Structure 1
Amino acid sequence: MAKEIERKFLLKGDDWRKLAEGSVYRQGYIPTQGATVRVRIVGNQGYLTIKGPSVKYSRSEFEYPIPIEDAKEMLETLCDRPLIEKIRYKVEWGGLIWEIDEFEGVNKGLILAEVELSDEKQEIELPSWIGEEVSSNPRYYNRNLVKYPFSQW
């Protein structure tokens, strides 16, 4: 079984910006009971992802490439609104890849960094631009940013 182990942080400062270029992401969530079903477009590729419930920093995750036309149709016809729009930057630091999401649209102003780990107890070196950890705060889950956008906090 595929497993995602991830920690999420707010950022402080802009020093990370000089370390990476961003890619535009557009994603939506299909309403379900229990699991999270996400449709995402990155560049010219579509993806369908199914995630189980979170337990601390971990959850089951299954991701599959799908044709871009299918992804576009799913985003337009099956996903809750608003869609998540963001620019994702990838920064290598301390032997790990940090994914920094700068949100657009109704979540503009929110910037989060995530790091995937191989074990929940894995020690990590925090870059100077990392702020408060929000891994356990559901308000920062992308799925919840659809229901309760950052602009409404």
Structure 2
Amino acid sequence: MNFVKLTLMCLIMSLSATATAGLKRYPHPNPDMPFSLATQVDNIVYLSGQIAADEHGQLADNITEQSHQVMKNIKSALNSIGLDMEDIFKCTVMIDDIAQWPDFNKVYVQYFSKGALPARSAFGVDGLAMGSMLEVECMAHKRRM
């Protein structure tokens, strides 16, 4: 009976270790934020949604400037964990006025190499953090472990 209990306990412990072995969390630079900057599972990095707040927490009042700020925030977040824009393979765009989607697209494409655009989804939403006009979350491939 003790052998069965010991075997079962070893199995549970090894499964627990395996479940977190490929998991890494990158803390948000602001410790008051209730989420990680990114989470990595094996070689996939899930970047938390980035809004258009600048380093002072301010938001521009138009979609073009906010779009540039979001993309700069994405680039900065990726760089802080050893990645760059070319590592992104999927983005999800949330925009509070879908009629402004073409304006966002004009800015978005400037941040990627020609022919290297990630897969993407976009949808209109009703309300984003801090009153941002858009939020973009990304998934990236970390080749360098």
Q: TM-score, normalising length from structure 1? A: 0.22
Q: TM-score, normalising length from structure 2? A: 0.23
Q: Which has the higher helix share?
A: 2
Please say which structure displays the higher CA radius of gyration. 2
